[in-house]
Amino acid sequence: MKYQALYRTYRPRTFDDVKGQDVIVRTLRNQVKTGRIAHAYLFCGSRGTGKTTCAKILAEAVNCLHPVDGNPCGECESCRAIREGSSLNVIEMDAASRNGVEDFRRIIEEIAYPPGEGRKKVYIIDEVHMLSSAAFNAFLKTLEEPPDYAVFILATTDPQKLLPTVLSRCQRYDFRRIPAGVIVDRLKEVFAAEDVQADEEAVRSIARRAEGGLRDALSIADRCVSFFPGEKLTGAHVLEVLGTSDTSVWRSMLQHTLDGDAAALIRQFDDLLMDGKDVRQVISDYTWYLRDLLIFKASGGSDETDSLLEEDRQTLLQDAAKLDERQIMYEIEVLSELSWSLHSSSNTRVLAEIGLINLCRPETKKELTGALEARLSRIEAQLEHGVVTVQGLVPGGSMSVPAEVAGSGRTASETEPDSPGGRTASVTGADGPVSGRGGQELSQVVVPELFSRIASQWKQTMSALPNRGRGEVLANCSTISFSKEEPDTLFITLDDNWYRSLSGDKKLMESVSDAIAAKYGVCPKIRFINASQGGQGSMTQIGSKVQALQKEGIMFPIDVE
């Protein structure tokens, strides 16, 4: 016997068999029972949700000689002819391949002749949004006032492309995505009928990947059964066929991201590619894991994730409890931008690796709204564990600063490990913790590598201060200095005129300190000094003082908010 795909074998034959579209099914069945058949229908929805299936059932029902409660009987001559494709009363047309004016002129000519057998002549036009404008215009009059015996059923996945004049002539039905729970139940029925053994994890994995399309779910099931004939289908089998990974991989990637460990994240990504995973699939699966995580974080678990196993649900709840929504949204934002770029890229691997590094370096994606929040959330999470890690200060390594750093009386020590992992600097003291933004405990210590970074981005940091006028003064007319003897203080050197105006502004000092805390994870003291004091003692000046604007007579307003 010739093999037939599962989605064709188990295609619904009556309205009662259609899953997940209860409102639409009830409406259509009632129309058949009462004889209130419209002349034009528009079925909209994503793939695999039952549009064409319902169109065929409706075509059978309106021509059935012995309908049963609005359903086709399936036994009469008309029903058999329609199912076998030999009926002259049901004409199916694919608008993706037949979308010209001539095709519709032929329909207009044929529709003048009533059906030889049966009650209605039904035209099912699939992917109707593919029709050309000329074809639509030729079809409009017939669509608006067809003969009493004619019914048009238009199906599309992209209704926004249809002309308003077409939409206004049709009864519109929007097919919703089928809930994962409904797909799971249907898969179990099919597996039982096919004598296929499958565990719960396998069934739910297929339902999750189908994304609301029952046809997709049956197609995936078909592939899995063919790949492992005669074996019990497991969750691992499904993952192998789909070319994806289990939750533990995404949890590990997320942890590397939160740690800011780009090297480990790239290594894991490389391992996935070496195992044969597709770049786009990896990014898509990781994005969906973060989506589930965000849903759990926002709602503590919801019906949106009813396709998950209980152990997966508990895992997500545990992970969500450790994270901030801002972090998750930032990662989804970066990955969504990356997914879009991958569609047109000739070197997807390089682009994906850059995107993954951006996850670990929020400062590189300042244009994204969640970048600053993601960095703050990471700092807060690290402070809860007593360590602030600042990546990218030393080539190949990071700087770790304990959170419990005192305000004075501290001692500093730096250790240079033998391995090329970078330098680690730590400072301890006895005056108690220092409080930064949001009441979090931040270190006051500034080590040379960190100061070098602050100095290189000084203008950008100061230009973003709440008081824009004073921020521009500090950005363009000041130099910052650093002393190893006082690692808790940043010295801001100003000319005498500016020094007299700003040196007593405590609110400005707090704003500068907050800006540095938000951007670099440290909260140093701020001290203004005039130009004659700069360079004294062991003070090391890094950066450039810009006085050209002042020499040209350009001054900045100080009191403008």
Q: Which residue from 551, 534, 549 is spatially nearest to 475, judged by alpha carbons?
A: 549
CATH code, domain with 94: 3.40.50.300
Res 54: pLDDT: 94
| Same domain? 199 vs 252 | no
Distance CA 188, CA 167 (A): 38
Prediction pTM value: 0.57
Distance CA 145, CA 452 (A): 77
Q: Higher model confidence: residue 369 or residue 423?
A: 369
Res 362: pLDDT: 72
Distance CA 559, CA 303 (A): 53
Average of per-residue pLDDT across 385-389 = 45
Asked if residue 380 is part of any domain, the answer here is no
Average of per-residue pLDDT across 182-209 = 89
Q: Where among 125, 147, 175 does a domain terminate?
A: 175
Domain that holds residue 414: 395-561
Helix axes 325-342, 279-299, angle to 10 degrees: 150
Average of per-residue pLDDT across 397-418 = 37
| Mean pLDDT comparison of 308-312, 330-334, 435-439, highest-scoring range | 330-334
Average of per-residue pLDDT across 77-106 = 84
| Same domain? 255 vs 272 | yes
pLDDT band at 437 (very low <50, low <70, confident <90, very high): very low
| Same domain? 550 vs 494 | yes
pLDDT band at 189 (very low <50, low <70, confident <90, very high): very high
Q: Where among 211, 242, 273 does a domain terminate?
A: 242
Quick check: 498 and 557 in contact, CB under 8 A? no
Amino acid 423 reads: R
| Same domain? 234 vs 252 | no
Is the pLDDT confidence value at 424 over 50? no
Res 218: pLDDT: 92
Judging by beta carbons within 10 Å of its beta carbon (0-12, 13-18, 19+), is residue 375 exposed, middle or buried? buried
Average of per-residue pLDDT across 270-280 = 86
Res 53: pLDDT: 93
Res 313: pLDDT: 64
| Same domain? 290 vs 235 | no
Distance CA 80, CA 65 (A): 11
- Digit-coded pLDDT (tens) for 14-38: 999 999 899 999 999 999 999 899 9
pLDDT band at 506 (very low <50, low <70, confident <90, very high): confident
CATH code, domain with 252: 1.20.272.10
Is the pLDDT confidence value at 541 over 50? no
Count CB neighbours of 366 within 10 A.
12
3-state secondary structure of 86: coil
Distance CA 292, CA 298 (A): 10
Quick check: 57 and 18 in contact, CB under 8 A? yes
Is the pLDDT confidence value at 174 over 60? yes
| Same domain? 231 vs 252 | no
Distance CA 20, CA 261 (A): 44
Q: Where among 226, 242, 258 does a domain terminate?
A: 242
Q: How many domains does the chain have?
A: 4
Asked if residue 399 is part of any domain, the answer here is yes
